Structure 1
């Protein structure tokens, strides 16, 4: 069981999609993944890099959405 855990959860960098899903969950937003990454990983620069990567990806996806549907994106002033 430990091998399976290490395979799927042992490395933080393989779970970027999971981090994005957590951010999109309205209960957690962007702070929770940062908090949980510090629990899993002791390397601060790696945690900050992952956090920035998730944020950059979400900004990129919003920009793609804005180009695809500018009227809907324009109504959001967030």
Structure 2
């Protein structure tokens, strides 16, 4: 099962990073998220909640989002 660990930031909603349980971006611990996984996530944008990369790429708006290259390469902690 693919983890729900991608979300945007309040600074740039289209710049998505991977956030493990500590809610610090894999590429830079200074980047944090307050996103979470909630029952109403289907009504939110990817920058407002943690989602799988596959789910985000399947949306009609996927072309707006940029997946952080450093987070894409990082091995999960």
Q: TM-score surpassing 0.5?
A: no
TM-score using structure 1 length: 0.25
Higher helix share: 1
Greater strand share, 1 or 2? 2
Structure 2-normalised TM-score? 0.25
Which is higher, the Rg of structure 1 or of structure 2?
1
